[in-house]
Each structure stands twice: as structure tokens, then as C-alpha cells.
A and B are shown apart, each in its own frame.
Chain A
Amino acid sequence: QKEVEQNSGPLSVPEGAIASLNCTYSDRGSQSFFWYRQYSGKSPELIMFIYSNGDKEDGRFTAQLNKASQYVSLLIRDSQPSDSATYLCAVNLKAGGTSYGKLTFGQGTILTVHP
């Protein structure tokens, strides 16, 4: 089992729809969870982070965390073609000791929003 798993997609949604991106992680003790967006040929950009169970909203983005199920998700409301990118889930896994600088990333989900 991979430490952080995402469906690679591609996930295709029509403009204006809700895009739902999912991520599971292996270490039950993990406390910090991040979503990065990476446009083709660009570097990852932090768009959301969440530490507590429940929902966290920022504009059109909502991060959801369920630590009991070891599951984190990202919802994008009113999806726009400009949201088309790869979305990376990242976790600060607690197992293995020192974690400075080390986030463990999923393989990413490719999202395509079509007009």
C-alpha cells in the first residue's frame, strides 16, 4: 500500500460543476494535510491545508478531512477551465521519525474542466 494514494484520473467535469478529488493516507497518526495544484510545465502551488477533522472552505475550494477513515478530499465548486491541472495531495506522515521538510505526496489527480 502506498503511503499517500490518489486516483490518477483523468477526472473530467463540465464547467460549473463540482470537482471532487480524493486522497487516502496510511499513517493514522498524521496531523497535517495539504493540497497542491500543478499546471502543466509549472511547479506545485499550495492551495489548501487542513489540520482538523471536518471541512475547511476557501473561496471555491473546500478541503475535507476524516482522520478515522484516513481520508482527505478537495472539492472545487463552480469549476472553471482554468482549474484544469494536476492536484497533488500531500501529508506530513508521522511514522519514521524526523519530518522536517518532508511531505509525502500522492501521484496526483489530473483534472480537466471542459467548457
Chain B
Amino acid sequence: KAGVTQTPRYLIKTRGQQVTLSCSPISGHRSVSWYQQTPGQGLQFLFEYFSETQRNKGNFPGRFSGRQFSNSRSEMNVSTLELGDSALYLCASSLEGAGWEKLFFGSGTQLSVL
């Protein structure tokens, strides 16, 4: 069974640009969550999608947005990039119901903002 697939693996952008990251969950997983990981703040929750609906959102500014498609694939968008947005962005998928708590992470997208 294929794992969670994230693309691209690396991204370099400049301040003010926008970026879109993609995530394909494990087959059969309909919940997709996004996390930001930095050395200083650790892993922080961005948002969660299920059945094309955002069900939960973390404490990030509105520049961070996402969506989910009918095939459960998800994208995350960051607009007007800032230097502080440099981080590893991790997507995780999980089953519905009580199984949602077992998150399976993708390899991540390493974003560098110059």
C-alpha cells in the first residue's frame, strides 16, 4: 500500500510570492491534516479536511489556506510568503472515526523563503 505522497519535495521561493503544496493520502484515508514543522516551534497544526470540508483549523494567519478534492487529495496554499514561513510542511492522512488520531505522515515539502 502506497504511503502519503507529497510534492514537491523541495521549494525555494522569495518573499511575497505564493506557493501551492500537494498531498495524496493513503488509499482509503479520507482525512487529511497539514502541519508545519520548524526547529523553534516544532510541529504545529494548520488544518484538517474531510470530505472536501475543513473541519478544524489551527492558529495560523489567513495567508495559509487549503482545500480537498473529491478523491481526498489535498492542496495547501500560502500567499504573500514571509521569511518566517520557511519550514517543513507535513501532510498526514488518517481513517475516519476513532482512527483519525493515528496520523500517517508524508515525507514533507521543505519550503525555503528567501
Contact = CB atoms under 8 A, between A and B. Distances in A.
10 contacts: A43-B108, A44-B105, A88-B43, A98-B55, A100-B56, A101-B33, A101-B45, A101-B49, A101-B92, A103-B101
Interface string B94-106: 1000001111111
Contacts, number: 60
Interface of A: 32, 34, 42-46, 49, 88, 90, 92, 98-108
A43 B100 contact: no
Interface residues of A: mostly helix, strand, loop or mixed?
Answer: loop
Contact of B56 (A32, A90, A102, A104): A102
Interface residues of B, number: 26
A113 to B, nearest CB: 22
B45 A103 contact: yes
B43 A44 contact: yes
Contact of A105 (B43, B101, B102, B107): B43
Given A106-B42, A107-B42, A108-B42, A101 B100 contact: yes
Contacts of A92: 101
Most B CB atoms within 10 A — which of A98, A102, A103, A107?
A: A102
Contact of A100 (B50, B104, B107): B50
